[in-house]
Amino acid sequence: MRIHLKIKRSRPASSDPSGYDTFRLSLPDEARWTILDVLDHIRMEVDHSIAYYRHSICGRGVCSRCLAKINGKVERICEYVVAGQDEIVLEPIGDQSVVRDLVTRKAGGQSPEMQP
Amino acid sequence: MAGSTSSVQRIIKTEVLIIGGGVTGALAAIGAARSGCKVTLAAKGSLGRSGNSIMAVATLRVDGESAYRSGQSKADRRYTKDVLFHNIVKDGYFLSEQNLAKRYVQEGGKRVDEFLGWGRQTRQRIIFIPPGVWLTTGKAVGAACRIGVRQTPGIQVFNDLWIHDLLTNQNRVVGAVGVDVLSGELIAIQARAVVLATGGYQPYSFKCSHSDMTGDGMAMAYRAGASLADMEFLLFLPAVMLAPRVHRGSILPFVLYVSRLIEPHIANTAGENLVEKIPPALRALAQGTEWTKLIYSYYWAKEILNGRATNRGGLFFDFSKTSKLKHIRGGLKAYLILRLMHHKGWVYQGKSIKDLYRTIRNGGRWEVGISNQYALGGIVIDENTATGLPGLFAGGEAASGIFGANRVASALSEGLVFGYLSGQAAAGYARNCEEARFDKQQLEAALQRLAGLFDQDGSLRAWEVNRRLEKAADEGFGLLRNEARLCSALAEVTRIREQDLPRIGLRGQGRAYNLEWLQALEVENRLTCLEAGIRAALAREESRGFHVREDFPQVDNAKWLKRILCSRANGAMVINTRRPLIDAVTPPHGPYDDIMAYAAHRSREAYAYKY
């Protein structure tokens, strides 16, 4: 299946002036990759600079640190299985300060929600 | 900020520094704050949302006596502290420091009680299972920790603050250095006392645990001069999902199997049922006790070694041979439990499992393997959690000495008990010591080590080095070992250290969320822990619990009732041994033919109070 991923980048010098980079990948039809799997693949094989919450994760829907907006809706990227959709748009969540690409201070850092 | 700036960008001053954001870290912070100290907690990820604490099923074990006193009328009061203590020591193959095991048993009840109080405020389910086990979810465990910390004044929490090295001054720990993961700033923390609550190490490619398990605290302690012990003992879990990819690493098959909600054949590639290869006495021992993990992993590993597993090391949960009705009933029960615990129905740990249920109904099969879940080894501590390095304390999975060669009691309870004790001990030390002062030269050197990676002129990727490390562990350091494969693994580890680490290059020069930078630093910690594990496995020429030598299958009680310690001397790793404290339960004198012969012996002893 072909997947078509558009990711909002925070670097001012991103290749698309609108701030989105597009990645086109071919996965085996029976593959059940999550967005996390796809981003790992992109980071290791295509664009090393892509940033998403990855340094301390459960990878299975328990910790909720990997939140991102997927086609406008907030989801955990470790849970969302790609299924050959027309286009998947990834954006950082909310209006919290973006650290880099999909990493924000809402899902990490010292935001009030995270302070006990 | 790019380039090779290595000056500190933020200094935090505190009295007690807790490194680690799971159960152990939370309890350490609470213990220290209650003793009147100013406490700072640094979590690599996020307090209560990091580490193995949240991955658990999760169970908290107490003796039946304590459970009964907490109001559980169904608790079995005959399951006393003494019975629990005896089980821990004997099932641990007698390598426990018996004073540590005693502490675990003595303090468990009150710590679990208090924890349950926080747990009830999370509005998540907590169920009691006689004789003395509380069952809840990993998510609830993390939430309860956050509530406990929030309700304790005097604790400052920093999330996404990854600590890489301890700082010492005149042979005393005075703080630590690390990185603010989001901004990339170099951070130095000045503290009178430090607690390492950083969890275990997991060196293999097949993971069922949290990404945090890179042995950071163990490696830090080692570099600072403390000792590690029991590193050769890694606890394996059988029946972890291997495929499909979306479910890889899930422990759901294991959980369903031990709860008897599913009863598949465990088929090897020749179609034989693994369970029929396990002697009936051991099958009975496994049923309803924590011996399941060692017994099943052992026989599983034999199938892999004898070429009767898939190339992923998998066997099959084969649902074609057992009654459909039984499975439908089991499936419905599982659904109800999932709804009860997680409120979501056919979802387990975030993934839809409808497809897995369909496989059962259609008489298909799941591919499952064995996966390292917990590290029995770690930093050496005394019964007050002191490491021997003044000012440094440790607890939880990062430390060692309670469970010996085989853990049959709850690791979460270990975190609660020794987390709290370490916080109190650290506070006691902090109140009586001189003010902490950095050794300026050492601080600069430590910061330079962090920042220096940006100057390293190499083309190797950190994730590639990680893969090589995992391959060495997979091929030479599994559950079943021999000298040749261990030596081969050690040679590769040495090669990675000498040739690969200096050739790591960072493609991104920016500091903000530079994952490659952090992974390059982490891989060094993982490598140190793996090296300690392999060296200890080579040194231990016998078999015991989760260490099995094909070339030395005997459990040799005459010669090997001792722990293997790894420490640093003149830049190299050296091995020592020491006998554990044995003051309450006497070990056997004679040998056993193999680890399962000892297990058979245990199955014949009075084992009335099973989990």
**Contact, B171 vs B55, CB < 8 A?**
no
Categorise residue B345: left if φ over 0, alpha if ψ from -120 to 50, beta otherwise.
left
Alpha-carbon span B276 to B15, nearest angstrom: 57
Half-sphere exposure of B225 (CA within 13 A, CB side): 13
> Taking Cα atoms as reference points, which of B463, B454, B451, B458 lies closest to residue B509?
B454
CA distances from B446 to B10, B164, B220, B499 (A): 14, 9, 12, 22
Give Rg (Cα) of chain A.
14
Provide the CA B364 distance to its chain's centre, in angstroms: 33
Average confidence score pLDDT of chain B: 92
Are A99 and B461 a contacting pair at CB < 8 A?
no
Q: Residue B282: phi, psi to the nearest 5?
A: -75, -35
Distance from chain centroid for Cα B357: 30
Q: Tokens for B122?
A: 């999370």
Query: Nearest to residue B412, comparing CAs of B47, B120, B24, B137?
Result: B24
CA A101 to each of CA A14, B463, B549: distance values in angstroms, whole numbers, following the listed order: 11, 21, 49
Q: What is the mean pLDDT of residues B579-607?
A: 92
Give residue-wise pLDDT tens across range B451-470: 999 999 999 999 999 999 99
Q: Give the list of residues 6+ apart from residue B484 with CB closer than 8 angstroms, or none.
A: none
| pLDDT interval class at A106 (50, 70, 90) | low
**B530-582, pLDDT tens digit by residue?**
999 999 999 999 999 999 999 999 999 999 999 999 999 999 999 999 999 99
SS3 content of chain B, % helix, strand, coil (to 5): 40, 20, 40
Q: If contacts are CB pairs under 8 Å, which of residues 491-520 in chain B contact chain A?
A: 507-508, 510, 512-513, 515-516, 518-519
Q: How much is the average pLDDT of B476-490?
A: 98
- What pLDDT score does A114 carry? 33
What is the per-residue pLDDT for B343?
60
Q: At what angle do helices B483-495 and B462-476 cross, to 10 degrees?
A: 170
Top pLDDT among B257 and B221 is at B221
**Are B246 and A57 within 8 A, CB to CB?**
no
Task: Find the mean pLDDT for residues B259-270.
Answer: 90
pLDDT tens-digit map of B432-457: 999 999 999 999 999 999 999 999 99
Structure confidence at residue B71 as a pLDDT band (50, 70, 90): confident
Residue B479 Rama label (left phi>0; alpha psi -120 to 50; beta): alpha
Phi, psi of B59 (to 5 degrees): -120, 140
pLDDT in the model for residue B377: 98
pLDDT value at residue B345? 64
Q: Which tokens in the block code for residue B374?
A: 């917990």
B164 in contact with A at a CB cutoff of 8 Å?
no
Whether A116 sits inside 8 A of B461 (CB atoms) is: no
| Strands of B28-83, DSSP E | 39-42, 59-61
pLDDT at B461: 96
Of A61, A64, A100, the CB nearest to B351: A61
Give me the residue label for tokens 């029960």: B333
Among A37, A54, A62, the residue with its CB nearest the CB of B55 is A62
Least Cα distance to B85 among B583, B422, B591, B603 occurs for: B583
- Residue in B with minimal Cα distance to A102: B513
Q: Give the integer Cα–Cα distance in Å for B111 and B227.
A: 28
Give the Cα separation of B113 and B115 in Å (integer): 5
Is pLDDT larger for residue B324 or for residue B419? B419
List the B127-129 sheet strands across, edge first: B59-61, B133-135, B127-129
Residues 6 or more apart in contact with residue B298 via CB below 8 angstroms: B479, B480, B548, B595, B596
Give B228's pLDDT tier (boundaries 50, 70, 90): very high
* Pairing of the two strands B315-318 and B365-375: antiparallel
Q: Is the pLDDT of residue A10 over 90?
A: no
CB neighbours (10 Å) of residue B71? 10
- pLDDT for B78-103, tens place per residue? 889 999 999 999 999 999 999 999 99
Q: Is A55 at the interface with chain B, CB within 8 A?
A: yes
pLDDT band at B326 (very low <50, low <70, confident <90, very high): confident
d(CA B194, CA B16): 6
Predicted pLDDT of residue B314: 95
Residue A12 has a pLDDT of 61
**Per-residue pLDDT at B362:** 83
Residue A110 to residue B512, Cβ atoms within 8 A: no
The A2-8 sheet, strands edge to edge: A20-26, A2-8, A88-91, A67-70, A73-76
Q: Is the pLDDT of residue A94 over 90?
A: no
Nearest CA in chain A to B154: A116
A49 touches chain B (CB under 8 A): yes
Is-cis flag, bond preceding B279, omega within 30? no
The whole-angstrom separation of Cα B594 and Cα B418 is 32
Looking at residue A15, what is its pLDDT? Answer: 67
The verdict on a CB contact (< 8 Å) between B44 and A56 is yes
Q: Given A33, A49, A63, which is nearest B54 (Cβ)?
A: A63
Q: What is the helix (H) or strand (E) element at residue B361, kind and residue range? A: helix B354-361
Angle at B390 between CA B387 and CA B393, to 5 degrees: 40
**Does A37 sit within 8 Å of B245, measured CB to CB?**
yes
